[in-house]
Amino acid sequence: MRDHRVNPVDAVWLNMDGPQNLMVIESLMFLDGPVDRTRLEHVIRTRLLELFPVFSRRPLPGRGKWGRPRWRDVGQLDLSQHIREVRLPAPGDDAALQDYVGRFLATPLPRDRPLWDIHLIEGLAEGSAIYVRLHHALADGIALTQVLFSLTDLSPEGDRDGSFHPDGRHHLLSEVVQAARRVAPEVPQLLRPARVRAGFRTGVRLGFSGVGVLKKLLFTRNPESPVSGVAGPEKRAVWSEPMQLQRVKDIAAHADATVNDVLVSALAGALARYQVEHGGRAVDLATMIPVNLRPLNVPLPRELGNRFALVLLSLPSGPGAPLARLAETKRRMDVIKASPEPAITFTLIQAIGWLGNRLNRPLVTFFAGKVAGVTTNVPGPREPRYLAGTRISGLLGWVPGSGQQALGTCIITYAGTVRIGFKTDTAVIADPERILAAFHAEIETLEAAFVAAAS
């Protein structure tokens, strides 16, 4: 069996599993019916295992105190170790599925096999679900989202009719990473040496901006609030029913904002409501947002790895009216878009990776302590897709938190709908359904405000 060195950045996430937060990316697909396991296994072998070798490798610890961990090929992979079939007890509603997912959010992936699992879940009141767990060491969440969508097709027979071609898969999936450009559209250019050498003015501007970014990363603090505290091992997951994306687009059009601005503003407002409901004072809360650094016009490489940055966004969750909060959200997002912050945080992550295991954890924990959690806002495919012949009706996915972070937020658009989901630490946030209700209330308030202004 061959061994392969683990990239230093990937090694950071491989070694960061802890009792409070595991480095596992969670994904959930809702389907209109059951999935044919034989067809699914064929898709997994041809589109996952053959194209991305890391899914057929298990981790090995480094040799000695400073040795870097390794990947080892497992040869003929036994899919029965990675795919489990379960049936939920009646009534098979969202609460039952949320309980099932919650039981695994603190369960480590076994280290004696490749670091991924798929759960085929039946017994739902409507259709079925697929719950996927992927370790962050395999790749970043944006790349793994693309990998998961590469298992799907535009037609029910797409896995059988020969229409799939690995070199063209990125054309169907580039929508998945467009959110990165809405947050930081200049990231790829900033990372090119030619851009940094473009002239004295550009260099000075980036230099001053870089100082400001470093101050932000070093001195931002996570204030005491009902969503901060000492995290424990138990987690919960809740999510909304899908709502029509057009509702959000209408609000964005009225406010001269983006869909992303509206959704992030609604999250900020929901956290403001939650803080007040729980006897706290509404204060701004910071969150980390992952940003893609891969070019969109080329396929994913066979060796995936982690190539992403993080930006720190202070959510305007302090006192204020919803319309003012939306305007402030847009302003803060626009500042980030013009900032070199993603380039700086990417360099920082690389540096941490090269420092070795003894320094990885304290440094990551230090920066993780600056924020309440991680927020992903991913635009999924605009058209319905099929997995092994079964139509996908909805999607969710969460990236892991670190340190004492207690709130993971997933906002995803798919086929004209939006879903929001929260993954929370029960020791800090025992009732995440209240944040969910507050998010929908904030959307409704924004709608009502624009209707009133127009009348």
pLDDT in tens, 404-449: 899 999 999 999 999 999 999 999 999 999 999 999 999 999 999 8
Q: Which of 341, 317, 128 is nearest to 118 (CA)?
A: 128
Which residue is listed with tokens 């491989």? 14
CB atoms within 10 A of CB 229: 14
pLDDT computed for residue 2 by the predictor: 87
CB atoms within 10 A of CB 409: 28
Give the pTM.
0.88
| pLDDT confidence bin for 194, thresholds 50/70/90 | very low
Q: Is the pLDDT of residue 329 over 50?
A: yes
Mean pLDDT of the residues in the chain: 86
| pLDDT confidence bin for 336, thresholds 50/70/90 | confident
pLDDT computed for residue 178 by the predictor: 52
Write the DSSP assignment of 326-343 as a string of letters: HHHHHHHHHHHHTSSHHH
| pLDDT confidence bin for 119, thresholds 50/70/90 | very high
Lookup: tokens for 167: 């070199």
Mean pLDDT of 147-173: 77
pLDDT computed for residue 347 by the predictor: 81
Give yes or no for a contact between 317 and 273, defined as CB atoms under 8 angstroms apart. no
Give yes or no for a contact between 321 and 261, defined as CB atoms under 8 angstroms apart. no
- Over residues 237-248, the pLDDT tens digits come to 999 999 999 999
Give yes or no for a contact between 417 and 383, defined as CB atoms under 8 angstroms apart. no
CB atoms within 10 A of CB 455: 5
Question: CA distances (Å), 35 to each of 30, 32, 141, 307, in order?
Answer: 11, 9, 24, 32
Question: CA distances (Å), 315 to each of 85, 103, 361, 414, in order?
Answer: 40, 30, 26, 24
Residues forming a β-bridge with 290: 310
Give the angle 258-261-263 at the CA atoms, nearest 5°: 110
Mean pLDDT of 351-369: 73
Residues in CB range of 245: below 8 A, 6 or more apart: 259, 413, 416, 417, 418
CA–CA separation, 335 and 258 (whole Å): 14
- Over residues 306-317, the pLDDT tens digits come to 988 888 899 999
| pLDDT confidence bin for 189, thresholds 50/70/90 | very low
Write the DSSP assignment of 94-109 as a string of letters: HHHHHHHHHHHTTPPP
Question: CA distances (Å), 104 to each of 131, 237, 401, in order?
Answer: 10, 10, 15
| pLDDT confidence bin for 376, thresholds 50/70/90 | very high
Q: Is the pLDDT of residue 261 over 80?
A: yes
- Omega of the bond leading into 400 within 30 degrees of 0 (cis): no
Mean pLDDT of 249-261: 94
| pLDDT confidence bin for 180, thresholds 50/70/90 | very low
Q: Which of 66, 158, 58 is nearest to 109 (CA)?
A: 58
Q: Is the pLDDT of residue 268 over 60?
A: yes
- Over residues 7-48, the pLDDT tens digits come to 888 998 998 888 888 999 999 999 999 999 999 999 999 999
What is the three-class DSSP state of 122?
strand
pLDDT computed for residue 356 by the predictor: 66
pLDDT computed for residue 118 by the predictor: 97
pLDDT computed for residue 193 by the predictor: 42
Q: What percent of the chain has pLDDT over 90?
A: 58
